[in-house]
Structure formats: C-alpha cells, structure tokens
A and B are shown apart, each in its own frame.
Chain A
Amino acid sequence: MFDTLKDILVKKLKVTPGQVTPDASREDIELDSLAVVELSMVLEQELGIVISDNELIDVPTVGDIARLMEERSAKI
C-alpha cells in the first residue's frame, strides 16, 4: 500500500519521489491543507478508500497513512 500511496503522492500531488519515505511527515513532503483534501478525494475516487481530510491531517507520517489505507481497504 505504501507504493500505491507513493505513486499517488508523486503523480497526482507532485511530491518529489525522494521525499516520500515511511517516516516522512506531512511537512516533510510539503503537503499543505488543500493537498490533504486532494489526497482524500483521490484515495476515494481511484481506490474507493474513504479517509477524511480531518483524519489525514491527524496522521503523523506517510507510513501511517499507508497503514490507515490498508485498514480501510480491508473493510471494503
């Protein structure tokens, strides 16, 4: 799931590939508040995974977002 998330961050949100590591924070990958909403929308549209932007903002790292995606996709 981390690779799927990385692919979305790089291709859809224009994050530099080298910055996307499991330990990177939202600030490290320069994901501002509107980009968090965009990520939430892309996850739902492309993968059917529903994670609100409020939830994404509270998640500390990229690795944690990937884990949350796994949890949510397991429920689908």
Chain B
Amino acid sequence: MMMPLRSHTADRARAGRAAVLAGAGCWLPPGVVTNADLAARLDTSDEWIRSRTGIASRHIAGPGTATSDLAVEAGRRALKSSGDSQVDAVVLATTTPDRLCPATAPEIASRLGLSGCAAFDVAAVCTGFLYGLATAAGLIAAGTADRVLLIGADTYSTIIDPEDRTTSVIFADGAGAVVLRAGTPDEQGAIGPVVLGSDGEHAELIQIPAGGARQRSSGLPPEPGDEFFHMRGRETYRCAVEWLVASSRAAVEAAGWRIGDVDRVVAHQANARILDAVAERLGLPCERHLSNIERVGNTGAASIPVLLAEASQAGELRPGQRVLLTAFGGGLTWGAATLVWPELDPS
C-alpha cells in the first residue's frame, strides 16, 4: 500500500512556534515484583534494597511482552488525553527496542492507526525522553510536524542479568507518552529551552557490551554475561548527581527562572539516593519533588513520562505550576527542560 507523503511548506510561520504539551498517558505492565520476591532468589533483602534504592516494588512485563506492546498502550492513552488521535510523527525513546533493526516507532505508529506518519527511535538511555522532547520540539518548530506523539518505553527485564543483584533490584518495565502540538511560547504547556549534553569518555559506565558492531567486528564470540546490561554504580552515582544538578540549573536559567521559582521537579527516577542528593543540592523543599520510584523502580526512558502522567491524573501537577524536568543516563547523557503545566484531560 502506498503511504501518503506529508508535505510541509516553508511558509508555515516558524518564528514563535513552540511545542505545547497537549496530552499524557502511561502504561505499566500488570506483573508486580516485590523486594520479597527478589530476596527469595537473590542474596539481598527488603531492607538492603530499600536503603540503597528507595524501591519497594516494580512492574515487570511477562514473557512475550515487548517494548512496543507497552508503548502502544501508553501512546493510546496519551492520544486520548490530547483529544485527537492523529499526529504527524511518532518518536520513541528506548534502550530496549523490539529489534536491533529496524526502529520500533514505525510498528508502534501502525498499531496506533498512524501508518504513514514519520516514526523513528531516539537512543539516549535514561535521558531518552528529554532527547526525544528536544527532537519533537524541533520537528514542530521547523514546521515538519504539527503534532508529535513522544513515547518513552523500556522493558529492562529483557536485558537485565537475573543473577545481578545490583541492577535487577533497580530496573523495571513501563511506558509513558505525551502529545505535543504546535502552539506559541507564551501558552501554558509550551516546552521551554531544552538543555542537553553528553560525555562519551564514560560510555562504559552504563552499557550492554555485546551484540553491537564493536563486539561483532571483533570476530570473537561475546564474553559470558556481556549480552546483559551493566552499570558501575558508584561512578554512575557521582556523575548522575553532578549532571542532574548542573543541567537543572542550566534549564532554569535558560527559561529566565530562578531555582526557587520551580514548583515541581520531575526527575528521572534513577534511585532515591540520587534523587535525595540532587534535591539537597538544588535546595528546594522536598514537597516540590515528585516521585514514584518506591512503586515503579527505574523504568529508563519511561520514567519521566510515567511520572508526569501519574502526577497529572493524581492532581499533583496542576495548571500554572512551573515544572522542571531533568534526566541522566548512559552515554553518558543528561538533559533538562522547563514548562508551565497546562490543563490536561485525564487519559
């Protein structure tokens, strides 16, 4: 079947175009794994996990459920919340695509009845949602799209070594999505300047060593365990705290705000200890920091949009509040952005 090509003429007003948040939704797979479940098969305990991560339980996709399955559910809810089922582009931020090739976003788009629209994946690990946000805002600002569905989805359960007690207690599965529409910078919901950065000198801190071109080009079989996700915890903690704080300050400054102006911080739910350290350094009262890590763990690229959707539904994000988004992930990558929370329909 021939897909219609979308044409966008240059006479669209580009100046003053902003990406405006128009909908949000999330989906967590129904399977829940508690700390007691993990302690039954690993050398760990509820107390150990809680004190080091702040996590009590997490959602895990069952056998046969892949990233696109979660992403479609979250995407459907975000579209419904936006009041319009059509978009011009689908952007998926993920570390766990359904296949190494092709991207997962086109399949998601088709399953949402959006065949023909632009669709691609963004790879920035746990910062993926913010990289995707900058990408989506750019598509809108350039006139390439009027409406974008941005999904963050990960099934970490497919890449975690079940015997690794450090990563298997932290990482989990989930999907969150937002719809962005063309609007003006002074509207509620307009995405402020997005601050992004990276440091590839520390690429090995967070990685899956095998399966990519580097390992395959060696001509050697992968080392045992190299097909799993690896993270060096202590170095990651230091880099995460430093860059979450620095990118937060930079995004707030770029928006013309001061840190004290921020009503709600929605940070990537990496680890409660990292979040506490960032909160202390930013100097904002704890009630301004939203968190769901105790119940959902670290869901990678899904972390921020899941928290946004849940907090919006629960009334913890209210229209007019100044919101700071900030994330850090493998790459290394980091990013932050601001917006004034708009009126959204529950998904």
Which A residues are closer than 8 A to B by beta carbons?
12, 32-34, 36-38, 40-41, 53
Contacts and interface: CB of A to CB of B under 8 A. Distances in A.
B41 interface: no
Contacts of A32: 51-52
Interface of B: 51-52, 233-234, 237-238, 241-242, 271, 273, 277, 280
The prevalent SS among residues of A at the interface is helix
A53 B241 contact: no
A53 B234 CA distance: 8
Contacts of A33: 233-234
A12 B280 CA distance: 9
Contacts of A36: 234
Nearest to A53: B234
Contact of B52 (A34, A38, A53): A34
A50 to B, nearest CB: 12
B52 A37 contact: no
Given A34-B233, A34-B273, A53 B51 contact: no
Contacts of B237: 34, 37-38
A41 B100 CA distance: 38
Contacts of A41: 238, 241-242, 277
B258 to A, nearest CB: 21
Contact of A53 (B238, B242, B273, B280): B238
A29 to B, nearest CB: 14
